[in-house]
Amino acid sequence: MHTATRAEIDESHAQFRGAWRQLALGSLAGEVVERPEVFIAASHIPWALMNAAFLRAAADTEQALAAAVASAARYFATGKHPWTFIMSDDWMAPAVQERAESILAWYRLKPLTVVTGMVADDLREPVRPLPALDIRPVKDAWGRQAVADINAISYDMPRELGRKAFDVESMFHDDSRGFVACQGDAPASSTVVMRVDGIAYIALVATAPEHRKASVAETVMRRALAEARDVWGIQRTVLHATQAGEPVYRRMGYRPVTRFRVFSAPAPGSA
């Protein structure tokens, strides 16, 4: 079994920050703030995951982690939306890991989810025949809204919020290409591939409930990665997998590198 190197762990952190930088800067009101202790990518919409803070470097002491969280909390306190703090166990000393949840709780941050940073240099051949789908590149409002709606359903968010996040023309460009897999004219699954520091970062992989467990996500992902290879000349690919998505990505040839814990805080002033 391959053991992740420190360089791969650091790469997974950098890719997470870089992808969220693109998402924030592609949004209508987003911004990126880089402080010595924390990296903030805020889309300034009411979706906590789209307002994210990350460590800039490994936290070897409780004080280092507390300083980063406090800085992020001060930033988001001036706004009106919920937010998240994202960190990996591999970037914390064991003693800091044990205290991390308590430190974050001071700032009303509670565990939201866990995602796994994964990487692949070459994809495996499909283990079963992939479905015949009409895969359309995102070029207009229809495509953007399909990506938005499928992701909103997958993350239990209102459709209007999904569109506020992703039905934005500036979200899709030469370094951020979206694809929608359709059965007939009905959108079934989406993927966005972003060029982040010379790597193909896969984001916004989501599948409509009625099309799950039919390899549609794998099919549209492979199309997006073929685009990255053919247009950008990029083979290496990174993503951050939910628990539900990880088995699909392993089957495709991705391997785990590090685990990230995602904590969420409510909007300032809320109960």
Q: Is the pLDDT of residue 2 over 80?
A: no
Tell me whether residue 150 is in a domain. yes
Q: Is the pLDDT of residue 1 over 80?
A: no
Among 257, 267, 263, 212, CA closest to 90: 257
Tell me whether residue 193 is in a domain. yes
pLDDT in tens, 33-48: 999 999 999 999 999 9
Q: What was the pLDDT predicted at 3? A: 84
Yes or no: say if 219 and 191 are a contact pair by the CB < 8 Å rule: no
In one letter, which amino acid is 82? P
Among 12, 84, 16, 13, CA closest to 50: 84
Supply the DSSP string of 106-174, one letter for each residue: TTT-EEEEEEEEEEESSPPPPSSPPP--EEEE--SHHHHHHHHHHHHHHTT--HHHHHHHH--GGGSBT
How many structural domains does the chain have? 2
Tell me whether residue 158 is in a domain. yes
Our CA dihedral for 77, 78, 81, 87, rounded to 10 degrees, sits at -50
Instruction: Say how far apart CA 270 and CA 241 lie, in whole Å.
Output: 30
Q: Is the pLDDT of residue 99 over 90?
A: yes
Q: Which helix (H) or strand (E) holds 13?
A: helix 6-26
Two tokens, residue 98: 């044990």
**Residue 252: count of CB within 10 angstroms of its CB:** 21
Q: Which residue has the higher pLDDT, 211 or 263?
A: 263
Report in angstroms the alpha-carbon separations of 52 from 48, 151, 217, 243.
7, 18, 25, 20
Q: What was the pLDDT predicted at 97? A: 94
- The length of the chain in residues reads 271
Q: Is the pLDDT of residue 23 over 90?
A: yes
Q: Which residue has the tokens 């399909």?
A: 146
110/10 same-domain check = yes
Q: How deeply is 93 buried, as exposed, middle or buried, from its count of CB atoms within 10 A (0-12, 13-18, 19+)?
A: middle
Cα 27 versus chain centre, distance? 15
Beta bridge partners of 206: 190
pLDDT in tens, 160-206: 999 999 999 999 999 999 999 998 889 999 999 999 999 999 999 99
Tell me whether residue 120 is in a domain. no
83/148 same-domain check = no
Q: What was the pLDDT predicted at 271? A: 65
Range of the domain at 19: 6-114+259-265
104/41 same-domain check = yes
Q: Which residue has the tokens 């990518």?
A: 41
Question: Where residue 185 sits, what CATH number does that domain have?
Answer: 3.40.630.30
Tell me whether residue 68 is in a domain. yes
Q: What was the pLDDT predicted at 213? A: 80
Instruction: Say how far apart CA 135 and CA 217 lie, in whole Å.
Output: 11
Beta bridge partners of 86: 54, 262
